[in-house]
Structure formats: structure tokens, C-alpha cells
């Protein structure tokens, strides 16, 4: 019974001091050997940014009882790359990112630092999950989210997964009684409609704040937005090959000389 514990790498995009990453660590501490490498400051909306033009700092910190933790000056994707090269001396069995303060369902997957960290691990062949709670508040209640994290992580460790597995899990803001369970979904067809708030600074110069409104244009069943609206936690498998194969076939018909 001397079974080796699975190595679980944890990161996020809200920074190492965010309540969301603390909830994530607490939720899975009993499931494996947890190692945290997370940004030293909030990185929301960083997408898949990486730091190539400036150096990175990495410091061991004492943040979570009994858990080896490092903070890094880079982006979520940088954290995973640095963890792989300088901290983990074995391949992690699982990478968990989050729990994000705010939804990363549908089109948010492309703007999300939480998901980019998970994607970076998936590219490395480490099965990964990005977790997000549909509540952007700093003092959000992570109780239900921790239950979801524990169940998904247990399932992932029990089931051998394909090499580049990457899941986007979003947790609705509902009471425990109204929570319906996990649901496998597809990314909803949606976008952000931005209006920039135009202001003038104390020196008389113009500046702009981004203000967005989420537009769900999806009318078909099976989307993550629909699942969340109905009290489910949505689970969307994400691809790291972005090729649009349908469009590729169509283009080949339009432009046969380009085949």
C-alpha cells in the first residue's frame, strides 16, 4: 500500500493571494502531492501571454500549510513553463488552474489567463482543468466550487485521459440544493460587445476604460451557457489544434490552386 501520490500542479491568474486559489488547494490537498506556482499579482485577461522580452522572478513563499509554493512575476502561462523547467523534477500528473473569480465559459476561454495556464500544461501532455466560479467578487463563496473541484479532480485521477486533455469547468452561482451536477457541454456561440468609457484625466488628456456586455448568440441546446443557467457546472473539452477543418475543405474548393 505504498502507492505514489499523484503530483498536482496548481496555478491561477488572480494571483497567489486570491481566495480562489486557496479554495482550490484546500479542495484537492487530500488527493495528491500538491505544488503551487502562481503569479505574484493579478493577471486577469492576460490570455495566453508569455514573457519573452523581460526577465522573470521566482520566489518560494509560505502561503499554504504543508504545500510547497512559489510566486512568479510572470503570466499564468509563464508559471507553468517555469514550474516544468525549474521546480517539478517529475512530470505532473495533473494541472489545475483557478478557481477563477469570474466566468470563463464560452468565448471567455480565449481571454482567460486561467485557461491559458491549463492549456500550457495540456500542450506539455499534462491533463489539465481550468476552474472558474461565475462570481467575480473577491469575497465570493467558494463552497460549492470546492465540491465541484473535488469531484472533477477525483474523476480525472481515476480515469486515464488522452495525452492533451484540457477541460474548462465553470461553476454556477446557486445554492447547494439548486445545484444539478456536472454536465459535458460545448462552447457557446457568444461574444463581448464593448463600449469604451471616454474620460478626461486631471491633465486634460483623453483616456478610455473598457466596458463590456456579454452577448449570447447561441440558440442551440448543449452549450455551457445553457448548462450554467440551468444550475449545472459546465465541462467543456478544449482543443489545442485550432485548425478549422470544415473551413479548410471549403477553402480548398474555392481556391483549388492553393491545395
Cα(112)–Cα(103) distance, integer angstroms: 9
- By CB under 8 A, residue 157 contacts its own copies: no
Of residues 16, 4, 11, the one with CA closest to residue 129: 11
Asked, as a colleague might, if the bond just before 134 is cis with ω within 30 of 0, I would say no
The distance of closest approach from Cβ of residue 11 to its own copies in the complex, given in angstroms and rounded to an integer, is 15
Over the window 225 to 244, marking each residue x when it contacts its own copies by CB under 8 A and - when it does not, the resulting string is: ----------xxxxxxxxxx
Among 6, 19, 47, 231, binds its own copies (CB under 8 A): 47
The distance of closest approach from Cβ of residue 230 to its own copies in the complex, given in angstroms and rounded to an integer, is 14
- By CB under 8 A, residue 37 contacts its own copies: no
Among 119, 121, 126, 144, binds its own copies (CB under 8 A): 119
- By CB under 8 A, residue 209 contacts its own copies: yes
Inter-residue contact 25 to 69 (CB < 8 Å): no
Residues contacting residue 33 through CB under 8 Å, at least 6 positions apart: 5, 6, 7, 8
- By CB under 8 A, residue 182 contacts its own copies: yes
- By CB under 8 A, residue 258 contacts its own copies: yes
Q: Are strands 190-200 and 67-72 parallel, antiparallel or unpaired?
A: unpaired
Of residues 85, 123, 95, 80, the one with CA closest to residue 6: 95
Of residues 76, 109, 48, 95, the one with CA closest to residue 234: 109
Query: Which residue, 3 or 163, has its beta carbon nearer to its own copies?
Result: 163
- By CB under 8 A, residue 159 contacts its own copies: yes
Q: Which stretch binds its own copies (CB under 8 A): 21-29, 30-38, 138-146, 205-213?
A: 205-213
Over the window 57 to 76, marking each residue x when it contacts its own copies by CB under 8 A and - when it does not, the resulting string is: xx------------------
Please give the size of the binding site for its own copies, defined by CB under 8 A: 75
Residues contacting residue 214 through CB under 8 Å, at least 6 positions apart: 190, 192, 193
Amino acid at each position: 500500500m505504498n502507492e505514489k501520490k499523484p503530483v498536482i500542479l496548481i496555478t491561477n491568474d488572480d494571483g497567489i493571494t486570491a481566495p480562489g486559489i486557496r479554495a482550490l488547494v484546500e479542495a484537492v490537498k487530500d488527493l495528491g502531492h500538491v505544488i503551487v506556482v502562481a503569479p505574484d499579482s493579478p493577471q486577469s485577461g492576460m490570455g495566453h501571454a508569455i514573457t519573452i522580452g523581460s526577465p522573470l522572478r521566482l520566489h518560494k513563499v509560505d502561503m499554504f500549510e504543508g504545500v510547497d509554493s512559489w510566486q512568479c512575476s510572470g503570466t499564468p502561462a509563464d508559471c507553468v513553463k517555469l514550474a516544468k523547467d525549474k521546480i517539478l523534477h517529475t512530470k505532473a500528473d495533473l494541472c489545475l488552474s483557478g478557481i477563477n473569480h469570474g466566468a470563463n465559459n464560452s468565448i471567455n476561454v480565449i481571454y482567460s489567463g486561467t485557461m491559458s495556464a491549463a492549456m500550457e500544461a495540456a500542450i506539455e501532455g499534462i491533463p489539465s482543468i481550468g476552474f472558474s466560479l461565475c462570481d467575480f467578487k473577491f469575497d465570493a463563496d467558494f463552497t460549492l466550487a470546492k465540491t465541484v473541484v473535488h469531484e472533477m479532480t477525483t474523476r480525472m485521477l481515476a480515469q486515464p485521459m488522452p495525452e492533451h486533455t484540457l477541460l474548462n469547468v465553470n461553476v454556477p452561482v446557486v445554492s447547494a440544493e439548486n445545484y444539478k451536477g456536472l454536465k459535458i457541454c460545448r462552447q457557446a456561440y457568444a461574444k463581448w460587445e464593448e463600449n469604451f468609457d471616454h474620460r478626461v484625466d486631471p491633465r486634460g488628456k483623453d483616456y478610455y476604460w473598457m466596458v463590456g456586455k456579454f452577448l449570447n448568440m447561441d440558440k442551440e441546446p448543449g452549450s455551457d451557457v445553457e448548462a450554467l443557467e440551468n444550475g449545472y457546472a459546465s465541462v467543456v473539452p478544449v482543443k489545442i489544434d485550432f485548425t478549422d477543418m470544415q473551413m479548410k475543405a471549403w477553402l480548398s474548393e474555392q481556391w483549388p490552386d492553393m491545395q
